[in-house]
Amino acid sequence: MYEHEQLNIVHRVKFGNAGIDIDIGAPDMNDTQDQTYLNVDKQEIEKFESIASRWWDLEGEFAPLHRINPLRLGYIMQRVEGIFGKKILDVGCGGGILSESMAREGAEVTGLDMGADPLMVARLHSLESGIPVEYVQETVEQHADKYPQTYDIVTCMEMLEHVPDPQSVVRACAKLVKPGGHVIFSTINRNKKAWLMAVVGAEYVMKMVPKGTHDAKKFIRPSELIGWVDRTPLKDKHIIGLHYNPITDKFWLGPNVDVNYMLHTISE
What are the residue boundaries of the structural domains of the chain, listed by start?
6-267
Is 113 marked as a binding-site residue? yes
The percent of residues in the chain predicted with pLDDT above 90, rounded, is 66
Contact (Cβ atoms closer than 8 angstroms) between residue 127 and residue 119: no
pLDDT confidence of residue 33: 38
Helix, coil or strand: residue 161: helix
- Please report which confidence band the pLDDT of residue 236 belongs to, taking 50, 70 and 90 as the band edges: very high
Helix, coil or strand: residue 233: coil
Is 54 marked as a binding-site residue? no
pLDDT confidence of residue 20: 40
Tell me which fold the domain 6-267 belongs to: Rossmann fold (3.40.50)
Taking the alpha carbons of 249, 253, 257, 259 in that order, is the dihedral positive or negative? positive
Residue 13 has pLDDT above 80, yes or no: no
Average confidence score pLDDT of the chain: 85
Residue partners of 117: CB distance under 8 A and separation at least 6: 48, 49, 52, 53
| Better-scored residue on pLDDT, 255 or 202 | 255
Enclosing H/E stretch for 126: helix 116-129
pLDDT confidence of residue 199: 84
Is 72 marked as a binding-site residue? yes
pLDDT confidence of residue 44: 64
pLDDT confidence of residue 7: 33
pLDDT digits (tens, 9 = 90+) for 208-225: 777 777 888 999 999 999
CA 29/CA 178 separation, integer angstroms: 31
Residue 17 has pLDDT above 80, yes or no: no
- Please report which confidence band the pLDDT of residue 198 belongs to, taking 50, 70 and 90 as the band edges: confident
pLDDT confidence of residue 126: 95
Residue 45 has pLDDT above 60, yes or no: yes
Helix, coil or strand: residue 253: strand
Is 102 marked as a binding-site residue? no
In terms of DSSP bridges, do strands 18-27 and 6-15 run parallel, antiparallel, or are they unpaired?
antiparallel
pLDDT confidence of residue 42: 75
pLDDT confidence of residue 190: 95
